[in-house]
Amino acid sequence: MRLDGVLFFPVTPFGEGGAVNCGVLAEHVAMGVVAGSGGVFAACGTGEFNALSLDEYTDVVDTAVSVVGGRVPVISGAGGSLPFARSCARAASESGADGLLLLPPYLVTAPPSGLVDYVRQIAEVSDLPIIVYQRGTARFTPDAAVALTKLPTVVGFKDGLGDIDLLQRIILRVRQETDREFTFFNGLPTAELTVPAYRGLGVPLYSSAAFAFAPEVALAFYKAITSGDELLTQQLLTEFYLPLVELRDRVPGYAVALVKAGVKLRGLDAGNVRPPLVDPTPEHVAALARLLDAGLAISS
């Protein structure tokens, strides 16, 4: 499984009664693939994985796989308690997903050896390639990262901590200890803001939550950063991504809630976020709309 380009993290739409709206999800995923995403990450953080039952999770992954039809890889989330994560891994395999993004276990703080064992026990129930997400309580040492490379189905490492020193040491140790293909990528919220720094570490791949509601802006940024257009890169960072991050940081959970609000601004009724997340205030939605207009104007 090879990933390239802008990685798309769709939201999970909910209908009026609160159920997953698979029809709107199908339209959302289809639009993202047509726009030019390099991969679809369904039922992950932006897709409110934490708020889904196993049946809902399966519906989301089934829908994404069906709509994508093999045009790009479909990666589905897994995580939480060990039994639930293993159930997600099995369900994703049965749905035809191409890989798993393994999110952190909830609440507990564990030593690196325990985190490696957590990954190992999930890998035992599925042959799907696994990308391990370092974020929150899941913090790996260089030795633990090397141990992950010994698990044959673990193919990548997504960093959501932003600890550049730690990530550099992890990359150097992994490259030193193994010669097999192993992918690193930037998984910070609103990752574009830190793409230049991660590219300096030799990590060009990144996730893009903004692609879910502003694919034109996300693709313009990707083209600018990969072609060396420093002027456009800086303009998009300064006039779109930086104020978006500042708006995101006003309320915990806005990294997801603002994306869903953005999808709604673009014409898809994705519904509300589920508790404990909260929907953006009208004032913040209006600010997001102004940012969206500015980003689209720069990207046109």
Residues annotated within the binding site for pyruvate are 46
Alpha carbons 114 and 119: distance in angstroms, whole number: 9
The answer to whether 210 and 192 are in contact (CB under 8 A) is yes
Which sign, positive or negative, has the C-alpha torsion 183, 9, 100, 189?
positive
CA–CA separation, 39 vs 7, rounded Å?
5
Binding-site residues, in ranges, read 46
> Is 133 in the active site?
yes
Active-site residue, selected from the candidate residues 133, 206, 222, 254:
133
Catalytic, 150? Answer no
Distance CA 133, CA 87 (A): 18
Residues in the chain: 300
Kindly list the strands in the beta sheet with 154-159, ordered across the sheet, starting from the edge strand earlier in the chain. Answer: 183-186, 154-159, 130-134, 99-102, 74-78, 39-42, 7-8, 207-208
User: Which residue's entry shows tokens 């159920």?
Assistant: 19
> Token pair of 263, please?
């999808």
Cβ atoms of 240 and 298 within 8 Å: the answer is yes
Question: Looking at 57, 118, 158, 198, which residue is catalytic?
Answer: 158
Three-state SS sequence of 233-277: HHHHHHHHHHHHHHHHCCCCCHHHHHHHHHHHHCCCCCCCCCCCC
Please count the other Cβ atoms lying within 10 Å of the Cβ belonging to residue 36: 16
Q: Which amino acid is at 221?
A: F
Which residues are known catalytic residues?
133, 158
